[in-house]
Chain A
Amino acid sequence: MTVNGRVEPDSHYPSPTDAGNSITQHGFKITTRKLPILKADPIEKVTKNLGIAPPEMIFGDNLVSIDYESGWGIQFNTYDALDQVDKTGGSMLQVAHSREWQSTREKKHKGITEVVKPFDWSYSTDYKGTLRSSSPLLEASTIPIPVELLKRPDPILFFDEVILYEDEMADNGITMYSCKIRVMPARLLLLCRFFMRLDNVLLRIRDTRVYVDFGTGEVIREYMAKEEKYEVVRQKLAWRGQDVPAQLRDPNNIIDLLPVVNKSLERLVVR
């Protein structure tokens, strides 16, 4: 094996800043870490520990965390997000052409019936973050995230976007878990989104938002799961007269077209 001489391997992946960014505001330390996808050996380890084949792009070292000086803390990491995926095959989706494929196949290759480790290969997760072990739990609440305060053009002191995993579902769509965080002088918003599009079958978005008010120490966590049949969304987009495949690649373009199937609201004051 030879390596081209001009670029030192690992010289810019990760860059020192990608290996860990952080900012501390009013006792809240916000950290993001972005590293390359895992190598073969760590993938083998993760596969063994998770008990399922990991997604094609697994950013196993990536994370976003919010830690308060009192010891309270919440973290979003790749392993825990994947650990919430159904590993039994009970909620397994099948690609659109599956029935056609299987009926043809049955005639020819009856001998091959074993499915390799059935599991939810859409990697759908209802992960809402991992609380630090010493942290008090959030409690069910009716107080929503103050959206109006977040609409104000306050300066953004810290912004980052971190992907935990992504898979192209063997070109049958896309599934990914990504986090976005912005920190303003008086508050922060973290949005962790699971997005899944199984072509001609289903669209699914599961958003977890964490809001922190630095002044009061109030933490609000909102979880909202939305989904809709692919064909229903496709028709609505087509009616708008846009490039449908392009629209379907961006969850922001379709989120309003998906009905809510599950939601929860929790709150805690850490100060």
Chain B
Amino acid sequence: MPGLPASVDLDECIERLYKKELLADSVIEAICAKTKELLMKESNVVHIAAPVTVVGDIHGQFFDMIEIFKIGGFCPDTNYLFLGELSSRVLACSADILSSAGSCAELNTFFASEPNGVADTLFHLGDYVDRGLFSVETISLLVCLKLRYPCRVHLIRGNHESRGVTQSYGFYTECNRKYGNANVWHYFTDMFDFLTLSVVINNQIFCVHGGLSPSIHSIDQIKIIDRFREIPHEGPMADLVWSDPDPEKDEFSLSPRGAGYTFGAQVVKKFLDVNKMNHILRAHQLCQEGYQVLYDDRLSTVWSAPNYCYRCGNMASVLEVSDQGERVFNVFDAAPENDLHRGEQQNQPNQDGQGVVVEYFL
């Protein structure tokens, strides 16, 4: 497996990103290319073993992501699974130990210093970018962590990890503003096409960004999806990143929006029975309490962007899954650093920060 250019030192990149410094666009290009090679080998359903900390939507809220590491442990001491929506939204990251053991061993050799026997994995459920102010820094850091600790950090694709949505919701504009051109946006969004669609923890917990699809009964049907593409408007791949539970229904229903589904209690029960699993874990929906548990503890929503858009006042959480598969929500509030950077936020167009700027509007 070819390495990164000699000039790219991942540890140094990570160090700089923890300080919220931007990487050069040539470095981003190299890192995204390398990440694509890595992700290409992942199945559409990545099997991992607990312990792992699962993270929901982040949406570019950089300081709150650092807060997650402070609470849950830094990589590689904790395994992470990010469930997506990084840019101005959330992400899932986790340890990939079962399914791609071969490639992991290879990568660990390549990256040499991966410690053995460290407990947890970090796992992100998608939606890493858009809406927050630091989508570029957020996604850059997560991608570097994925490359550096490929078996301890897992990223699932969210509906915001797409070209269309990132153009409407801010990531494109942020890349342009910070780099003076759209190249970095192209590197990232091309790489998004390779993110996996789902993760299974301990053969028990099915993790996905949005939810279930009427086209998918068995997880084997997910494995045959051609995922290396922009998220389509319809079909199983769209459903996995878009659909929402509806606790008042039993079956699938059409969304009033004219595209997309909601899924009910019986759908969840049947999916778990067929696949011999006991829980579905997803992100995608804002909850004031930071998480929501539905269907007699068969499905959880985890939301990891506190005070979403710097104005919702909501709590956030990460879900810690222990070796035995026990689930504990770790709830947290917005990081204090957000207040210090409130001025910076107010200077951004379209960010109605908590602080109020007096204005002679008409």
On whether the beta carbons of A37 and B349 are closer than 8 Å, the reply is: no
Q: Is the interface of A mostly helix, strand, loop or mixed?
A: loop
CB distance from B72 to the nearest CB of A (A): 10
CB distance from B356 to the nearest CB of A (A): 5
On whether the beta carbons of B233 and A97 are closer than 8 Å, the reply is: yes
CB distance from B166 to the nearest CB of A (A): 9
The closest CB in chain A to the CB of B284 belongs to A170
The closest CB in chain B to the CB of A172 belongs to B257
The closest CB in chain A to the CB of B182 belongs to A243
- B11 at the A interface (CB under 8 A): no
Q: Mark B18-62, 1 if CB is under 8 A from A, else 0.
A: 000000000000000000000000000000000000000000000
Chain B residues lying within 8 Å of A119, measured Cβ to Cβ, are: 256
Chain B residues lying within 8 Å of A57, measured Cβ to Cβ, are: 286, 308-309, 312
- A121 at the B interface (CB under 8 A): yes
Interface residues of A in 126-165 (CB under 8 A from B): 147, 150-151, 153, 156, 159-161, 163
On whether the beta carbons of A243 and B176 are closer than 8 Å, the reply is: yes
- B287 at the A interface (CB under 8 A): yes
- B332 at the A interface (CB under 8 A): yes
Q: Mark B279-290, 1 if CB is under 8 A from A, else 0.
A: 000000111110
Distance, CA A114 to CA B254, complexed state (A): 6
Chain A residues lying within 8 Å of B233, measured Cβ to Cβ, are: 97, 100-101
- B359 at the A interface (CB under 8 A): yes
Pick the most buried of A118, A156, A249: most chain B CB atoms within 10 A of its CB: A249
On whether the beta carbons of B313 and A14 are closer than 8 Å, the reply is: yes
Q: A112's contact among B251, B259, B331, by CB below 8 Å, is which?
A: B251
On whether the beta carbons of A36 and B314 are closer than 8 Å, the reply is: yes
CB distance from A266 to the nearest CB of B (A): 19
On whether the beta carbons of A245 and B234 are closer than 8 Å, the reply is: no
On whether the beta carbons of A1 and B328 are closer than 8 Å, the reply is: yes
The closest CB in chain A to the CB of B259 belongs to A101
- A250 at the B interface (CB under 8 A): yes
On whether the beta carbons of B359 and A159 are closer than 8 Å, the reply is: yes
On whether the beta carbons of A95 and B259 are closer than 8 Å, the reply is: yes
Q: A114's contact among B167, B253, B349, by CB below 8 Å, is which?
A: B253
A36-B288 CB under 8 A given contacts A2-B330, A4-B330, A116-B246: yes
Chain B residues lying within 8 Å of A37, measured Cβ to Cβ, are: 286, 288, 312-314
Distance, CA A147 to CA B350, complexed state (A): 25
Pick the most buried of A6, A13, A108: most chain B CB atoms within 10 A of its CB: A13
Distance, CA A74 to CA B280, complexed state (A): 47
Q: Mark B155-182, 1 if CB is under 8 A from A, else 0.
A: 0000110000101111011001000000
Chain B residues lying within 8 Å of A231, measured Cβ to Cβ, are: none
A13-B313 CB under 8 A given contacts A2-B330, A159-B359: yes
Distance, CA A9 to CA B349, complexed state (A): 29
Q: Mark B309-327, 1 if CB is under 8 A from A, else 0.
A: 1011111000000000000
- A113 at the B interface (CB under 8 A): yes
Chain A residues lying within 8 Å of B176, measured Cβ to Cβ, are: 243
On whether the beta carbons of A182 and B214 are closer than 8 Å, the reply is: no
A94-B328 CB under 8 A given contacts A147-B362, A246-B349: no
Chain B residues lying within 8 Å of A95, measured Cβ to Cβ, are: 257-259
On whether the beta carbons of A39 and B288 are closer than 8 Å, the reply is: yes
On whether the beta carbons of B257 and A121 are closer than 8 Å, the reply is: yes
On whether the beta carbons of A100 and B234 are closer than 8 Å, the reply is: yes
Chain A residues lying within 8 Å of B359, measured Cβ to Cβ, are: 159, 180, 182
Chain B residues lying within 8 Å of A98, measured Cβ to Cβ, are: 257-259
Chain A residues lying within 8 Å of B314, measured Cβ to Cβ, are: 36-37
In the complex, 6 of the A-B residue pairs with CB atoms within 8 angstroms, ordered by the A residue number, are A2-B329, A4-B331, A39-B288, A102-B259, A112-B252, A153-B360
5 smallest CB-CB distances across A and B, nearest first, come from A36-B313, A94-B258, A98-B258, A13-B313, A101-B259
